[in-house]
Amino acid sequence: MKKFLIRTHVLFIFLLIISIQASVATNSKSQQEVSKETGIEKLKSLRKMSTATINTPEAFANAMILKEEALKQKNNQYTGHAYMHLCGYYQHIALKDSFIYMAQKAKEYYQRAGDIENEIGADAYIIDSYIQSGNMELALNKTLKLLQDTQDSNNKSGESLSYELLGRIYLFLEKPKQALEAFQKMLDLKRKYVPNYGKDGPTFFWELTTAAYNANNHELSLAYCDSIRYYANRYSEDKNNTLFILLADVNTAKSMIELGRLTEAKQMIENITIYYNENKAYIHDRFYHYTQIAYAEYYLKTKNYEQALQYIDKAIDYYSEISDNFNYNTVRDKKADILAAKGDYKNAFTLKNEVFLFVDSMAKDNSSRQVNELRTIYEVEKLKDQAEKHELEVQNTRTIIISLTTVCILLLAIVFAIKYNSNKLKKKNKKIFTQHKDLDKYLNEIHNLSSLIQDSNPEKLKEASLFEKTAAHLYKSESFRNPNLTRETLALELGTNRQYLTQTIQENKGMTFTEYINDFRLEYTRRLLSQDINLSIDKIYTLAGFSNKSTFYRLFKQKYDLTPNEVREMAKNDKTS
């Protein structure tokens, strides 16, 4: 239920963004008008046109037009804007790796333009994608670095954004007290340094009330809900603020439930339901199921378990139907709690175990503890039933059974811990392997698309930077496989000189020529290891252009945190599965 609040927050922020984009669309000029413009004015108009279509079939084409014009004018800032629009396009069609790549390219051009605010914004997009995909370790590391950088540069707006991201991460990691502290620091900074911050007040206070609720500080949660209503009514011209008021009302009811104010809570939920039924044409279906979960919480608190199960089952059916695995798993976890409260430990344990198995290598200690507690209750109840049946026949066996059971539970705990750690490492390696496999697919799509664009309009290749030409040439010709490849040879193939070639590699990748070529060779070996399981590793590294086996193994382990043998083994398992 805690994580559900976070996902609901993301949903309504998304609706807010859509409404802003729709307002921008009304100010867009026609393509004919834009074609007559020149210079920065043309870039501004193209950006508006691209923004207006960011979630439509024309999104990709308009973003590419903006990118081409920005590159033509050598305007790094607007090239960054174009990549951010491509980032939005790939986010809309759920291509996570392409989305991250575009955000990284946007950051690169913002850096060149000296546009610090948008550079931080690009970083935030990348971090938020890690949060949504559950990659919390990477998200946390990047956020802490962003926070340190913004503090060092005295960028208060960026520091505020960093604390907001940090709060979201702590919520996902089920550390609500730390999340609340981060959000409060965010709010303090916005109050002091961000003009007109109150317009976004409903958003900030929704994050604060979510953290306060999860930290069991329900009085504070109620106070933040009042703040949501205050700012939503103050800026009532924003139609999305009506949704925030409804969310505040639901969270108010939930906090009242926890505080024992059950009559008030039920009345509020009923009023919300009536409002939804009268206006459901304008409110997302998810909100209805959010209220159903609130009903389930109410009936759980009043010990009306059958009613609680009826409402939670509605939510389970809904999230199953829309294939929302995250929230589907969350509400099933809540159902397990209801079953346990009802005394149905067997079904509670079974369901809780299914929920636990769904969680990946970053599963939280709290979930593990709850499963083990239910496991213990189930085992004890089972043994207790057996003891009662045989008590008249064998009085002395009770002590023996209890002793053996205790030993078994300890052994099970030890075996479980060993197996869990082993599976955790295997899942981590498999996840890395799968990510690289997916990345290969997406990169191939990008390269194929680039080739198609270049073939249809060769002039675009001339406009590409030397670095882009170098990467495209190496990818297409595979000249890196030549172990004797030199800077002079590659520069000659590209029609440039070794100095420019070395300089562009250093500026764009931060690598020497040798490191850059070896990077291509490593990617080539990884693909062969994954795709051709019958080809020996010795053959693969020589085909890629490496002349020294120990150098190959050292660089491969350094880049992928896996050995070639581990990748080959995962590839074999992937083929047979």
Q: What is the pLDDT of residue 219?
A: 94
What one-character-per-residue DSSP string does 317-375 give? HHHHHTT-HHHHHHHHHHHHHHHHHHT-HHHHHHHHHHHHHHS-TT--HHHHHHHHHHH
356 vs 415, more confident? 356
Average pLDDT over residues 104-130: 86
Three-class SS string for 26-71? CCCCCHHHHHCCCHHHHHHHHHHHHHHCCCCCCHHHHHHHHHHHHH
Q: Is the pLDDT score of 367 beyond 70?
A: no
- Highest mean pLDDT range out of 60-69, 94-103, 360-369, 463-472? 60-69
pLDDT tier for residue 98 given thresholds of 50, 70 and 90? confident
pLDDT tier for residue 246 given thresholds of 50, 70 and 90? confident
Rg (CA), the chain: 28
Q: Is the pLDDT score of 456 beyond 70?
A: no
Cα–Cα distances in angstroms (integers) from residue 503 to residues 89, 467, 487, 498, in the given order: 32, 9, 11, 8
pLDDT tier for residue 5 given thresholds of 50, 70 and 90? very low
Total residues found in the chain within this entry: 577
Average pLDDT over residues 136-165: 88
Which amino acid, residue 50?
S
pLDDT tier for residue 449 given thresholds of 50, 70 and 90? low
488 within 8 A of 498, measured Cβ to Cβ: yes
Q: What is the pLDDT of residue 508?
A: 94
Q: Is the pLDDT score of 437 beyond 80?
A: no
* Residue in 333, 302, 337, 304 with CA at minimum distance from that of residue 316: 333
pLDDT digits (tens, 9 = 90+) for 254-283: 999 999 999 998 999 899 888 888 887 777
pLDDT digits (tens, 9 = 90+) for 177-215: 999 999 999 989 888 887 777 778 888 898 899 999 989
Q: What is the pLDDT of residue 179?
A: 92
Q: How much is the mean pLDDT over the chain?
A: 80
Q: Is the pLDDT score of 70 beyond 70?
A: yes
Quote the CA–CA distance of 521 and 534 in Å, as a whole number: 19
Cα–Cα distances in angstroms (integers) from residue 508 to residues 103, 122, 180, 188, 574, in the given order: 15, 17, 39, 38, 35
Task: State CA 356 to chain mean position distance.
Answer: 20
Number of other residues whose CB lies within 10 A of the CB of residue 194? 18
Options 3.30.365.10, 1.10.760.10, 3.10.20.30, 1.10.10.60; CATH of 465-576: 1.10.10.60
Q: Taking the domains of the chain in order of start, what are their residue ranges?
A: 196-342, 465-576
281: Cα within 13 Å, side-chain hemisphere: 1
Fold that domain 196-342 belongs to in CATH: 1.25.40
Q: What is the pLDDT of residue 96?
A: 66
